[in-house]
Amino acid sequence: MSENPTITDIADAAQLVAFGMRPRLVPARDRSYADLVRRHATDEMFAAATAAVVSGLGLVILGCSDRTGLVLAATDESLFELKMEDYSRRAVVRDRRERVLHGLIHLAVAAVAFPRPADLADDTYVGRLSVEQVDAVVRESCRMLDERAAAAEENLDPPEEAPELERTWRVYSRRTEVGGTRDSTRAMVTKAMKFLAEQGFLIQVGGDGGSTYRTTPRYQVQVRELAAGAAFDELLQLGVVVVTDGTGSLHTIRGDLLG
């Protein structure tokens, strides 16, 4: 074996990266993809070549396995970084306040999908969640933050140094839950979850245009990174997402059954 990757190694590594950038493709559906994933796990030279290609594109590897395929994330200022403006256009987000709310929704989706550390550690775990479930969790979080603010006799507008979640809860709680307009919180949650499905992170269950989804291994890898963030921890610390039994069923702390 040569000490440096060959041109063929680099070309194959670039092909693996190309596969990884197709979010809905998994190795089980493409033999060439599966072969490259296995090679990445067993051939150190090829893995190094892949890392070099990825780094040159301003990306990082979050995981690479038969289950997930090559999971990539963009670094700051990467050509492939999904800017908030880009997400806003794709999810039809109209203003800064809605952008903040979508951030809170994505946080809730991750927490509902993987409410326990063990769920993130278990590669066989599959989360199931719905639009209604996520909306209920966010609304319950808003209620708790409202009570916390009242108890602390805070002003109507939380101070700038308040925890990240406390800067957004009032805006969400003012929105109607359901309705025929795109302003409802259910409509916003639907947009966010459809976007995650387009990215290969969620799969719609039933295929009938319903509101229930299941997680994919790619999403589990992504949420493992997200779980290190302060905002994710703040949401879980509220105790809104509670596991009721060993199957991963969830409810809000007020006892409203979510499924």
**DSSP string for residues in 16-72:** HHHHHTSTT--GGG-HHHHHHHHHHHH-HHHHHHHHHHHHHTTEEEEEEETTTEEEE
Lowest average pLDDT, out of 90-99, 106-115, 135-144, 225-234, goes to 90-99
Residue that wins the pLDDT comparison between 172 and 109: 109
213 and 167 in a common domain? yes
The domain in which residue 44 lies consists of 7-74
141 and 206 in a common domain? yes
Region 25-42: mean pLDDT is 96
Residue that wins the pLDDT comparison between 150 and 105: 105
Give dist(CA 126, CA 214) in Å, integer. 7
219 and 112 in a common domain? yes
47 located within any domain: yes
pLDDT in tens, 53-112: 999 999 999 999 999 999 998 887 777 766 555 565 655 555 566 676 777 788 889 989
Q: Is 2 helix (H, G, I), strand (E, B) or coil?
A: coil
85 located within any domain: no
> Percent of the chain, pLDDT > 90?
37
> Percent of the chain, pLDDT > 70?
66
38 and 100 in a common domain? no
Looking at the 3D structure of the chain, how many domains does it have? 2
pTM: 0.73
82 located within any domain: no
Instruction: Indicate the pLDDT class of residue 27, thresholds 50, 70 and 90.
Output: very high
Region 211-215: mean pLDDT is 92
pLDDT tops 50 at residue 248 = no
pLDDT at 179: 61
What are the CA-CA distances from residue 18 to residues 21, 25, 40, 83 (Å)? Answer: 5, 11, 14, 20
